[in-house]
Amino acid sequence: MIDPYFKLTVDEPQKLVTMRFKGAQSSQYYTERIINAYGLIDRPWLYRRLMDYRNCETSMSFPDVERMAVYWADLTRGQNSLHYVAILATDALTRARTSTYSHLFPNQDIHTFTELHDALDWLLAMPVSQASQV
């Protein structure tokens, strides 16, 4: 079923996952979509990630961000790699919150961008994570 408020794209050759958020759904709604999307990708920690919030009218709540952090930590338990995430957002609140929440994701290099080309330039310049067990 097509979700008009969330779109997942997996670019296997580039090792790039893109999640696009649209509309004014609840923070919990988007959190569920993110978690479900990771469940569809084999070893999602091997991908660079672009989270595109430019057309989203909802700010992620702290409890939902914490939930994603716990989910990601469980998912990547035993992996020893740095993960690259670009947050694409035009609103000041989302950009400000990104730096506030980044401590919840200790093995992630998270940067915020307002322009798609800047986010992609940065992400694609980053190395692809390698699977390594701790």
Q: What is the DSSP string of 55-74?
A: EE--PPPHHHHHHHHHHHHH
d(CA 78, CA 60): 27
Mean pLDDT, rounded, of the chain? 90
* Amino acid 131: pLDDT: 53
- Which tokens in the block code for residue 83? 């993960």
Find the mean pLDDT for residues 97-101: 83
Predicted confidence (pLDDT) at residue 12 exceeds the cutoff of 70? yes
Find the mean pLDDT for residues 3-11: 96
Structure confidence by residue, pLDDT tens digits, 58-97: 888 999 999 999 999 999 988 877 889 999 999 888 888 8
Task: Classify 22 as helix, strand or coil.
Answer: strand
Scanning 1-134, the segments in alpha helix (DSSP H) are 27-40, 62-75, 92-101, 116-125
Structure confidence by residue, pLDDT tens digits, 103-118: 898 888 999 999 999 9
The full set of domains in the chain, from first to last, is 6-125 (3.30.750.24)
